[in-house]
């Protein structure tokens, strides 16, 4: 970002880095404008500018990396800079829920058929993988998280630990450890990352741990 | 690490940070000594020292976070610091393979029954998730990667793009983009992260992209 001539991003994320970018050209836009943002970035790059397209977390996980590469289409070089994605940021705040195999699934069906998302939820639940849910709930789809929980309950005990982390590592973080049975009694929104344990995940001293099989 | 009195870690990782830690007490040990390392760290912490237990990538993903919390057992406070895990580091070097739902699976059966690993591979393949393989091959298990590939081929086209990244973002990185059909013709070892695309993953301008569904 410091080396860039221009910064392109979702306005909430641009706001998060305002101290770094004060003297730069900034193109901030609203949600669901991903393709327009990528096009704007490529347009500026074709003018010879060094452009930073910013995402929160890791741009390669449900972020701008894909659409930017697609729109750039080989016309300008694109370099991806990995970051800390919400799954591992939330995991660090919960304890160690991801030290074993896990699935990362977004409940947003804006760009993915809901039946495909459901089949992924069931496959992951059946195979006893820890499950990380991104975009668990928005105003437009308040009930997907209920359906997801039901599907997971077909294969997993109601007492399975569930971690809810809101605004993971972004300041004002809120961390809750609950269970599959109780999880809907807590606030879950677009800023929440949900981590559902596997059959061995436990809560110990207030931390969520998926044991790796060491003889402790 | 800079604030710590003592550094505890696998010797290869200690070597990677030697410039930071030169004036610290260092406890470096070999592979498969995870529990002993955690015990050593807790012992030092109980003496009042600030101890940094280091892992490569993110300590919460197949790293030291779990065993350290288990061994600490509430006797000393443990803070997890998230990092960039191999999955997203490798993804950044390949392009944007992880902008859609994915599973992270280790092929190491040292601490996990192999049949459980196989069932996770099949579930993820069946549900059309991108699959990231950690620990794909070691001297002790040279053939697991062959079996994993066969299981995935039950549900996925032989032309599915596969990315192989050795020493992701650690210097001397090696990046290969191939297919499920051809992947075994390339060197795959303990330092390699393998990313297998879903049914929509494509290779464009030398980059591996899993489209998110935007109309490009």
Residues from chain A that touch B123, judged by Cβ atoms under 8 A, are 123-124, 126-127, 129
At B75, phi and psi to the nearest 5?
Answer: -75, -30
Nearest to A73 among B80, B120, B205 (CB): B205
User: What pLDDT digit, counting tens, does each position of A107-124 carry?
Assistant: 999 889 999 999 999 999
Interface mutation vs chain B, best among A56, A79, A90, A98, most B CBs within 10 Å: A98
- The strand pairing partners of A194, in sequence order, are A133, A164
Residue B78 belongs to a domain: no
**B contact test, residue of A35, A88, A136 with most B CBs within 10 A:** A88
The two beta strands, A130-134 and A102-106, are parallel
Same domain, A191 and A122: yes
- Least confident span in A168-172, B24-28, B68-72, B136-140: A168-172
Residue B214 is assigned to a structural domain of this protein: no
- Find the range with the poorest average confidence among A20-24, A81-85, A200-204, B6-10: A20-24
**What does DSSP say about strands B202-204 and B207-209: parallel, antiparallel, or unpaired?**
antiparallel
In terms of residue numbers, what domain contains A57?
6-72
Q: In CATH, what number is assigned to the domain containing residue A105?
A: 3.30.950.10
CB atoms within 10 A of CB B68: 27
Q: What confidence tens digit (pLDDT) does each residue in B94-111 have?
A: 999 999 999 999 999 988
CB pairs under 8 A between A and B: 218
Please tell me if residue A201 touches chain B, with a CB cutoff of 8 Å.
Answer: no
Same-domain pairing of B43 and B101: no
- Is position A215 within any domain? no
* Any B CB within 8 A of A180 CB: no
Looking at the structure of chain A, the number of domains it has is 2
Same structural domain for residues A60 and A142? Answer: no
Chain mean pLDDT for chain A: 94
Give the C-alpha separation, B203 to B216, whole Å: 15
Do B175 and B91 share a structural domain?
yes
Query: Pick from A166, A189, A78, A6: which is nearest to B209 by CA?
Result: A78
The Cα A116–Cα B176 span in angstroms is 29
Exposure pattern of A77-103 as b/e (b: 16+ CB <10 Å)? ebebbbbbbbbbbbbbbbbbbbbbbbb
Q: Is residue B162 part of a domain?
A: yes
In A83-122, the residues whose Cβ lies within 8 Å of chain B are 83-85, 88-89, 91-93, 95-106, 110-112, 116-117, 119-120, 122
Tell me: do B102 and B192 sit in the same domain: yes
Do A189 and A105 share a domain, yes or no? yes
B74 contact residues in A (CB cutoff 8 A)? 204-205
Distances (CA, A) of B102 to A57, A96, B18, B99: 16, 19, 34, 9
Residues of A in contact with B204 (CB under 8 A): 69-70, 73-74
Predicted confidence at residue A43, as pLDDT, reads 97
Asked which of A169-173, B114-118, B146-150 is least confident by mean pLDDT, the reply is A169-173
Q: Which residues of A touch B161 (CB under 8 A)?
A: none
Residues A65 and A164 in one domain: no
User: How far apart, in whole angstroms, are the C-alpha atoms of residue B3 and residue B51?
Assistant: 9
In a domain, A1, yes or no: no
- Residue whose C-alpha is closest to residue B1's, from B24, B31, B33: B24
Backbone dihedral angles phi then psi of residue B56, each to the nearest 5 degrees: -85, 160
HSE-CB at A71 with a 13 A cutoff on CA atoms is 22
Chain mean pLDDT for chain B: 94
Compute φ and ψ for A146, nearest 5 degrees.
Answer: -65, -45
Burial pattern A136-162, b for ≥16 Cβ within 10 A else e, equals bbeeebeebbeebbebbeebbeeebbb
Is B126 part of a structural domain of the chain? yes
CATH code at A68? Answer: 3.40.1010.10
Whether A126 and B122 lie within 8 Å, measured CB to CB: no
Which pLDDT value is given to residue A33?
A: 85
Same domain assignment for residues A15 and A90: no
Q: Of A72, A97, A112, which residue constitutes the final position of a domain?
A: A72
Task: Read off the pLDDT of residues B184-214 as tens digits, 9 standing for 90 and up.
Answer: 999 999 999 999 999 999 999 999 999 987 7
In whole angstroms, what is the distance from residue A138 CA to residue A108 CA? 8
Residue-by-residue DSSP string for A46-107: HTT--EEEE-SS-TTSSSSHHHHHHHHTTSS---------HHHHHHHHHEETTSS-EEEEE-
Q: Residues 6 or more apart from B110 whose CB is under 8 A from it? A: A213, B32
Q: Check whether residue B159 and residue B198 sit in a common domain.
A: yes
Identify whether residues A52 and A93 lie together within a single domain: no
Beta strand pairing status for B207-209 and B95-96?
A: parallel
Using CA atoms, how far apart are residues A28 and A18, in angstroms rounded to an integer? 11
Q: Please, which residues 128-147 of chain A have a Cβ atom closer than 8 Å to chain B? A: 128-129
- Between CA B56 and CA B84 the distance in angstroms is 9
Q: How far is B204 from chain A (nearest CA, A)?
A: 8
Same domain, B10 and B91: no
Is there a domain that residue B1 lies in?
Answer: no
What is the pLDDT, as a whole number, of residue B170? 79
**Mean pLDDT across A44-66:** 95
Q: Are residues B59 and B105 in the same domain?
A: no
Last residue of a domain, one of A72, A98, A122: A72
| Beta strand spans in chain B (E) | 6-10, 25-29, 51-54, 95-96, 102-106, 130-134, 161-166, 174-179, 192-196, 202-204, 207-209
For residue A31, is pLDDT > 80? Answer: no
Residue A214 forms part of a structural domain: no
Which of B18, B44, B72 corresponds to the end of one domain? B72
Q: Which residue in chain A is spatially nearest to B85 when comparing CA positions?
A: A84
Nearest-Cα residue of chain A relative to residue B110? A213
Q: Provide the token pair at B126.
A: 């069946």
């Amino acid at each position: 970002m410091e080396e860039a001539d221009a910064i392109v991003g979702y306005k909430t994320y641009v706001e998060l880095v305002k101290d770094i970018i004060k003297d730069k050209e900034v193109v901030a836009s609203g949600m669901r404008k991903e393709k327009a943002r990528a096009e704007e970035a490529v347009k500026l790059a074709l003018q010879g500018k060094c452009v930073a397209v910013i995402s929160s977390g890791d741009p390669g996980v449900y972020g701008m990396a894909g659409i930017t590469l697609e729109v750039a289409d080989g016309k300008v070089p694109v370099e991806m800079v990995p970051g800390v994605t919400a799954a591992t940021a939330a995991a660090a705040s919960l304890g160690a829920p991801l030290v074993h195999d896990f699935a990362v699934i977004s409940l947003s069906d804006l760009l993915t058929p809901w039946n495909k998302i459901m089949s992924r939820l069931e496959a992951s639940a059946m195979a006893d993988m820890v499950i990380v849910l991104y975009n668990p709930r928005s105003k437009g789809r308040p009930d997907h998280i209920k359906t997801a929980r039901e599907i997971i309950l077909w294969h997993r005990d109601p007492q399975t630990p569930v971690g809810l982390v809101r605004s993971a590592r972004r300041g004002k973080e809120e961390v809750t450890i609950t269970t599959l049975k109780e999880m809907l009694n807590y606030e879950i929104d677009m800023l929440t990352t949900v981590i559902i344990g596997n059959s061995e995940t436990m809560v110990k001293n207030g931390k969520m741990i998926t044991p790796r099989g060491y003889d402790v």
